[in-house]
Amino acid sequence: MTRAALLVLADGRFPAGGHAHSGGAEAAVKAGRITGASGAAGLEEFCQGRLHTAGLVSAGLAAAAALGADPVELDGAADARTPSAALRVAARKLGRQLMRAARATWPSGELDALAREFPKGAHQPVVLGLAARAAGLGAEDAAYCSVYECVSGPATATVRLLSLDPFEATGVLARLAPEMDVVVRRAVEAGRRCVDEGVDALPAGSAPLLEISAEVHAGWPVRLFAS
């Protein structure tokens, strides 16, 4: 493997469409649940909650896909762990965009097969795991990409939504780094167990407010972000 491939895949400028999504931050800002960088209504608390729930689930799926678990079963497991219809739509949209970019960047028979199986898009973490595999990266790399994206998306969105100081937002991400390491370790362990025991071994952490506010957000007539 080449470590530089990890930077290509994790780069916010990788053309996979992530910039159009706020990871629930837009709904939380509008509801007054994020008002600044830290504190009870802070971006940091928001990202931390997201990291240990939806973030761990996504990273587990990505790690399992990178390890070669059956992507169709992983996609079903992602559906069962994403009860919000709006979030399933967003995950498939992101998966489809990532698929397009990844196939052009790292051509792979496995990516081609997944694209044929899910013409409207597979869940993004599953595509991410296979893209990492195609790029010669491992499960840990896939989990790191997933976990970083899970918090950097809301951080970037909050800078735009609240005019939050970008230095403060980046400070939040840096403070969360040790917790990202922890979540990656748990995700990779779960991914390994998934290969041996099946998808029930994957984490299933849920964040009720992310699920609820995704449906609230989907009902708005005008939005800055797609989710």
Partner 1 sequence: MTTAGVRATARISARDDGRGGTALPVLEGDGPLALRRTRASGAEARVMLVGAMSGPLGGDHFAVEADVGEGARLHVGSAAATIALPGQGKGEARYDLRLTIAAGGELRWLPEQLISVKGSELEVSSLVELAPGARLVFREEQVLGRAGEEPGRLTSRLTVRLGGRTLLDQEVACGPGAPGGWDGPAVLAGCRALGQLVVVRPEFEERLPEPRALGEYAAISPLVGPAVLVTALAGDALRLRRVLDEALASLG
| Paired tokens of 63 | 């790690």
- The tally of CA atoms less than 13 A away on the side-chain side of residue 221 is 0
Cβ atoms within 10 Å, residue 60: 35
Residue 107 vs 198, nearer CB to partner 1: 198
For the segment 75-134, give every residue that binds partner 1 (CB under 8 A): 76-77, 79-81, 83-86, 88
153 conformational bin, left if phi > 0, alpha if psi -120 to 50, beta if neither:
alpha
| Paired tokens of 85 | 């219809």
Question: 213 by DSSP, 3-state: which?
Answer: helix
User: Does 46 participate in binding partner 1 (rule CB under 8 A)?
Assistant: yes
Question: 207 by DSSP, 3-state: which?
Answer: coil
CB of 221 to partner 1, least distance (A): 14
User: Does 36 participate in binding partner 1 (rule CB under 8 A)?
Assistant: no
CB of 13 to partner 1, least distance (A): 26
CB of 25 to partner 1, least distance (A): 9
- Please pick, from the candidates 10, 19, 33, 189, the single residue that binds partner 1 as defined by CB under 8 A: 33
CB of 134 to partner 1, least distance (A): 27
- Please pick, from the candidates 65, 98, 207, 225, the single residue that binds partner 1 as defined by CB under 8 A: 207
What one-character DSSP code corresponds to residue 62? Answer: H
Contacts of 119 (CB under 8 A, 6+ apart): none
Q: Which stretch binds partner 1 (CB under 8 A): 47-55, 109-117, 122-130, 134-142?
A: 47-55
Interface with partner 1 (CB under 8 A), residue total 46
What span, in angstroms and rounded, lies between the C-alpha atoms of 11 and 63?
A: 18
Which residues are near partner 1 by CB under 8 A? 24, 28, 31, 33-34, 40-42, 45-53, 76-77, 79-81, 83-86, 88, 179, 199-200, 203-216, 218-219
